[in-house]
Amino acid sequence: MIHALAIALFAVLAEPDYSAWSVLLHKYYDPAKGMNYAALKAHDERALEAIRLQLGRVDVSALSARQQLAYWINVYNVNVVATVVEHYPVRSIRDISTDPIIRLNVFKKERVPFGGAKISLDDVENARIRTAFHDPRIHFAINCAAKSCPPIRMEPYGGDRIDVQLDDQVRRFLRSTVRFERKGDTMVIHVSRILDWFNDDFGDKLAFLRRYVSVTPASKTEFKYDDYDWSLNDWRR
């Protein structure tokens, strides 16, 4: 019994302290407006950098599976914000890329501190989160600094509440963005381009939507995907 309690206590204590990230979110972020990058860069860039480095020193193997998922989502969001702050002012995170055509290689640059080395945002998203957890809800939790991206949650993710947080993130975003249009016997469902880009992650998209929004029955359904606005989620724009 004592051994089991010790193991349980260690699991609780092993989770990183995300309180400093919480402080920055409440000082500089508004889900309806975006991030106040100018003020964050002017007053707390060093604090943000300290958070990045602290997260990079975490022993992920000591975390439970749910804690690991929360950790990687927090790491992604912190490092996206830090990437923008480092190069601010920019009109879009894509402007930081050196690829003049697609302008997305900013996500492939190895700049995320982890275990004495550096990995890329792309690696965090695809290898550490998508491949490891196979959970489509993460697409509503990680934020790429674009206006069309689901807002950053106003609290860090935590292993003991990650499922409740993810469900709430999905519900909030879908209820504010999904639109229905009836055309004869077909229900056209307008959704975020995210559900198109990551089609395989969602499987039966209609079944996924029904978990979070009310879908009127129809003989046929058709999905249409909204244009994606890559403009920076800057509160001043």
Mean pLDDT of the chain: 93
Q: What is the pLDDT of residues 121-178, one digit of tens each?
A: 999 999 999 999 999 999 999 999 999 999 999 999 999 999 999 999 999 999 999 9
- Within 8 A by CB and 6+ apart from 216, the residues are 180, 182, 187
Q: Find the helix or strand (DSSP H, E) in which 179 lies.
A: strand 179-183
- Residues in the chain, overall count: 237
Q: 58 to each of 36, 44, 200, 205, how far by Cα in Å? A: 28, 22, 31, 35
Whether 1 has a pLDDT exceeding 50, the answer reads: no
55 forms bridges with which residues in the sheet?
none
pLDDT of residue 102: 85
Q: Where are the domains of the chain?
A: 2-174, 178-225
pLDDT of residue 3: 47
Q: Could you tell me the two tokens for 35?
A: 């991030």
190 forms bridges with which residues in the sheet?
179, 224
Whether 13 has a pLDDT exceeding 60, the answer reads: no
The answer to whether the bond into 217 is cis (omega within 30° of 0) is no
Q: What is the pLDDT of residues 62-86, one digit of tens each?
A: 999 999 999 999 999 999 999 999 9
Confidence of residue 236 (pLDDT cuts 50, 70, 90): confident
pTM given for the model: 0.93
Q: What is the pLDDT of residues 91-109, one digit of tens each?
A: 999 999 998 888 999 999 9
Residue 1 or residue 180, greater confidence: 180
Helix-then-strand count for the chain, H and E? 10, 7
Whether 237 has a pLDDT exceeding 60, the answer reads: no
Cα separation, 16 vs 53, in Å, equals: 12
Cα separation, 17 vs 185, in Å, equals: 52
Give the strands of the sheet with 179-183, arranged side by side: 179-183, 186-191, 220-225
**Maximum CA extent, the chain:** 65
